[in-house]
Structures are given as structure tokens and as C-alpha cells.
Amino acid sequence: MFVWSYGKTIFTSPATPSNEFCLSKADKEQYEKEERPESQQEILRRAAKDLPIYTTTASRAIRYCDRCQLIKPDRCHHCSACDVCVLKMDHHCPWVNNCVGFSNYKFFLLFLMYSLLYCLFVAATVLQYFIKFWTLGSVNLLISFSLSPQNELPDTHAKFHVLFLFFVAAMFFISILSLFSYHCWLVGKNRSTIETFRAPTFRNGPDKNGFSLGCSKNLREVFGDEKKYWLLPIFTSLGDGCNFPTRLVIMDPEQLAVSSQNEPAKSSVANQSFPTRPLSESQNRLLSSDCQWVETGPEEENVKSGS
């Protein structure tokens, strides 16, 4: 299982955006001719109006990759080592010489888990010999030295082999345990390593928990619905890597003020506020079991305009 997971992590190609995120030939030529950033952003906004994109740059601009010449989907980043845009990029790992992203993130987690178990198995099986060499080795060494006619030390190469094997297994176990624990925390929060250091920006501002749907749904998004496949390095992640369900659509302050004023007159329950509809609810079954939000009239239009 360790070798299988390691091989899948190495040889699985990073998933790249589909052709719908590439600019058309006319838009690309017009984008290259324009010198003003405002005009370029207007071209990108026109091209991205029908795309499932809900995040922007910190300056509220459309995320565009000049190298790959495409509009970046949510959670997509360009890897300078692979020279390609990677869907849901987590990081570029030198240990596997590959990008860890949407296509192989499950394999990477299983690789860490089976590496952890492998190091634990090696350290546990060598521990008894490690103890014997330290407790009995010194006594046997003195006896052999006193009985040796030429006062030569006996061959103790095996002792250093066992010491080396135990310490290497223990050190790798400690280091991998910290890395595996960190990525388990990321899965529970539905974040990538990049999003931990730089939160994605939605229309209400940066939000590290923008893609979090709850621990159970976050786990299913990575490992899939079938629990029998969770421990196997088989791709079972949900979604296509380009479109992700988000937590909530936060309306603009002006829209929020208008909605809060109109809500008491339109709501059937007094003093009860209803959250806005989650994004991509109709496109992702992770949100299919959520409760139905009560929205009527202008409030529904605000949600549509917000999405």
C-alpha cells in the first residue's frame, strides 16, 4: 500500500483547467493589444461572466494566468516548477517531484498515512534488538575483550546497523506525523496549504473558511462517498476540480441593509433571519441534503446577482 500510494502520487499528472477557461482567439488578441489594465480586466470580466468563478485577487481583479493564457478557476494556481496551472493546488512536493493538487491529493494523504505506519512498524520490530544491544552488548563486549588472546574487539557492525535503522525510522515517524496531522487538519477545514497562508477573496473579502462545508462533507469531498474506497489509492474525489461549492454568498452592505429592512414584512416567522443560498447548490450533491432556505422576490434576485 505504501509503494502503491507513493507511485500514484508521483505518476498522476496534475489536473489542469478545461478549455472553457481559455480565452477565445478574438478575446486573446484584443487582450494582448490592450495596454491599460482596466481595459484588460473588462475583457476578462466579459469572458468570465458565464464561468463558475467566485474568487478574485486581493484587488478584486479576475485571476488570469499570463503564462498559460487562461482564466484561473477557483483554488487554481500556477506552478513555476511544473510550468502549468494546477487545479486545487496544494503545493509542489520535492519528495514526489510532482504537484499535489486535485488529481492526487487523496494519494498524497494515503502516502503519508502508510509511510507513518511503515516507519512505526520498522521502529517497533527493531526496538527489541535496540534494547538488547544497549543492555547486553556492554556485558558481552567486556567478556569478549578479556577472553580475546590478542585483545581485539569483536565485530560490532550489526549494532550500528540496528542503531541507524531505529533512529531513521523514529525520526521519519516524528516528521511525517507532524505533516500528516497538519494535512488532516486542512482536510477538516477544506483548505489547501496555499489558502492557509493566503485566504481566497470572495465578494465580501478574504475568507479562509469560504469553501468549508463542515468536517463530514469536507472529508467526503476529498475521499468520496464510498467509504470502502477511502483507504485505497483510487481516485474517488468529488467534483471536477474547477467548480467547488462555497459556504455562503455574502451580499454587499447596501443589499444586506435593504434585505434586513424588508425581511420582517416578507418573512412568515417574526424575528427570524435566513441565510443566503449556498453557491453551486444545484451542481454539487454535497449540499443536496441541506435545509431549504426561504427566499422570495428581491432577496432571490440579490442572491443571483451576488453569484
For the annotated catalytic residues, the residue numbers are 93
3-state secondary structure 108-142: HHHHHHHHHHHHHHHHHHHHHHHHHHHHCHHHHHH
Residues 10, 79, 52, 286, Cα dihedral to 10°: 40
Angle of helix 215-223 relative to helix 105-135, nearest 10 degrees, comes to 90
Residue type at position 75: R
Nearest one of 265, 276, 271 to 302, comparing CA atoms: 276
Nearest one of 246, 181, 240, 244 to 208, comparing CA atoms: 246
Fill in the DSSP letter of residue 173.
H
Q: How far is CA 56 from the centre of its chain?
A: 18
Nearest one of 52, 66, 71, 68 to 244, comparing CA atoms: 52
Please give the grid coordinates belonging to residue 73: 478557476
Please give the grid coordinates belonging to residue 152: 581485539
Distance CA 232, CA 114 (A): 11
Residue 276 near residue 250, CB atoms below 8 Å: yes
